[in-house]
Each structure stands twice: as C-alpha cells, then as structure tokens.
Amino acid sequence: MEHLSEARSILARALNVSTETIGDRASIDELESWDSLGHMRLVLEIEQHLKRELSPMEILELASLVDVQDLLASSNRTT
C-alpha cells in the first residue's frame, strides 16, 4: 500500500478529478478523463514530484494507478 495515496492524489490532480473517483484498479481503459492531455499532465506531475525526468519506457508503461504507485515506490528506493 506504500505510495498508494500519493499516487492517487497525483493521478487525480493530473486528470482534474476528485480522489474519490479513482478506485484501486483505475486505469487508462477505465477512466474516461485519462486522455492524451491527462497523460501529459500526469507525467509532468510525477516528474515534479520525483524531481527528475521520466524515461521513455517509464512514460510508455504508465497505464494504471498501480503503475504510478510502483513508479513512486521504485524511484523512492533508488534515491
């Protein structure tokens, strides 16, 4: 559960929705608001949070709340 709440807040800000609307299984396929601009805002939010630029593969693999959580967790382990 580490970083889940942080990930949910970041995703909600990026998609301009409330955190309550983002369930544990939220994904690109499920969230109507997760469009191309939302994805760009999400990447920028995460980069601001981690204070580093995401790699192309990290950007490509972001497709769910769990992916955001995992990215925050792995970045936390390596810093």
Cβ nearer to another protein, comparing 34 with 69: 34
∠ CA 44-47-53, rounded to 5°: 110
Burial 43-52 (b: 16+ CB within 10 A, else e): bebbeebbee
Kindly state the smallest distance separating residue 48's Cβ from another protein, in Å.
14
Kindly state the smallest distance separating residue 2's Cβ from another protein, in Å.
26
Cβ nearer to another protein, comparing 1 with 60: 60
Distance CA 37, CA 14 (A): 9
- Binding residues for another protein, rule: CB under 8 A, are 28, 35-40, 43, 56-57, 59-60, 63
